A and B are shown apart, each in its own frame.
Chain A
Amino acid sequence: MTNLYIRWGGLLIVTTVLIVLTYHHYRDNLASLVPQEVRKEAPTGEIRVLGMVQGGTLKTRDAGEATFTLLGKSATLPVHYQGPPPDNLRELKILILIGTWNAATQVFEARDIGIVPNYGFIAGAYLLGLLPLALFLFAMTRRVNFLYEEIKASKLYEEE
């Protein structure tokens, strides 16, 4: 039984380390800001901003350029996107923009436009899919070990 706990303890430690590393990867590379945070903090360098394309503000040009206003809870950001507008770029759609905030012109220069990543749903699905299986397997292996020990202890086991 001790071996079982050591094996599963090791697995638990490895899993915890992987979850912590994934969380750090998410926080450092994938976490996004909202328009009011961009206005308040004026971050430099490339950032990700989450918001909704305000109705009636989207203007696209044939040359491959789009301008619109990104709506947050308490602030808006004028956005300029250079390149062929993707299909997902529509009014009233929640999007994630990758680019830089130009504090001088007060315009967000978007390099890439993607739809909402929904990381919460992804994490939820993987936890729901894998955690019960791990717990079920652990409970079964523990029960098998317990039964072996009980059979040995009660001297019911006979070599056939």
Chain B
Amino acid sequence: MTIHRVIRKVQRFQGWFGGGAALCLMVGLYLGLIGSPPDYYQGEVVRIMYIHVPLAHTSLLGYTVLALGSLWYLWKRDPIVDNMCQAVAALTAVFTALALGTGMIWGKPTWDTWWTWDARLTSFTVLLLILIGYLMLRTFVDDPEKEARYGAILAIVGFVDLPIIHFSVEWWRTLHQPQSISMRGVSISSGLLVPLLFMSVGMSLLFSYMLMVRTQLLYLDRLLHAKKGRLLSQFHLSKSDS
């Protein structure tokens, strides 16, 4: 089964992704804002975790999809996959920027600063810059095939930032707390974990839903341009014949 068939099959369930995202996010917001207890040390402000962490997780997931899609594109040259890569890059850039923004808001009451050049924060900013660079590259190159190829190479090279982000809190002494959920176990109480899981699943479903809408948007945009271009060239050809 080719990858674009998989994409088409998954897109049939677009509505389910949207509905599932809305449901999970509503439950997650209720549990996170009202139903969960405040943290012993951070107090109520810990509730920012339920929006910040899912946004950050989804950004990393988005970039992984972008890197895998880019690899697939370089191998198979499937334009549908390239379309998805372009869509996923824009969405990941938005999610990354929002993760950084909500992190800054959380940093002020807990660290007493909006920003610090901490390893986790810096590597995450580098991710945003890579994504902005990717999106700029996709608008600068005229030839669509070259544009897709250069973009895919940049996305694969940029993937090196992901392990740096992941291990930054272990490799360097940072202000950012270490991971609460890892292979070593879960170091977070269930009262705080349940809303976090609901929000994380909800945010991933929302990301998938938005990805389907954006892939569809880019496809229709290209289709319209291609068909308009074809009609225009037919018109010019008929003019020159007559």
Q: Real complex partners, A and B?
A: yes
Chain A positions within 8 Å of B, measured between CB atoms, are: 22, 25, 87-88, 114-119, 121-122, 124-126, 128-130, 132-133, 136-137, 140-141, 143-144, 147-148, 150-151, 154, 156
Chain A residues with Cβ below 8 Å from B224 are 147, 150-151, 156
> What count of chain B residues pass the 8 Å CB interface test?
37
Contact between B227 and A119, CB atoms less than 8 A apart: no
Contact between A121 and B48, CB atoms less than 8 A apart: yes
Q: Is B38 an interface residue (CB 8 A)?
A: yes
Chain B residues with Cβ below 8 Å from A140 are 210, 213-214, 217
A-B contact count (CB 8 A): 92
Contact between A116 and B43, CB atoms less than 8 A apart: yes
CB A86 to nearest CB in B, in angstroms, measures 9
Contact between A132 and B48, CB atoms less than 8 A apart: no
Partner pick for A125 among B41, B43, B106, B209, CB 8 A cutoff: B106
Q: Is B153 an interface residue (CB 8 A)?
A: no
Given the known A-B contacts A118-B45, A121-B109, are A133 and B94 also in contact in the complex, defined by CB atoms under 8 Å? yes
A132-B94, A133-B206, A151-B220 are known; give 19 further A-B pairs, CB within 8 A.
A22-B33, A114-B43, A116-B109, A125-B48, A126-B29, A128-B98, A128-B101, A128-B105, A129-B51, A129-B55, A129-B101, A132-B98, A137-B210, A141-B213, A147-B217, A147-B224, A151-B223, A156-B223, A156-B228
CB A20 to nearest CB in B, in angstroms, measures 15
Contact between A122 and B47, CB atoms less than 8 A apart: yes
Which residues between 90 and 137 of chain B lie within 8 Å of chain A, taking CB atoms? 94, 98, 101-102, 105-106, 108-109
Chain A residues with Cβ below 8 Å from B109 are 116, 118, 121
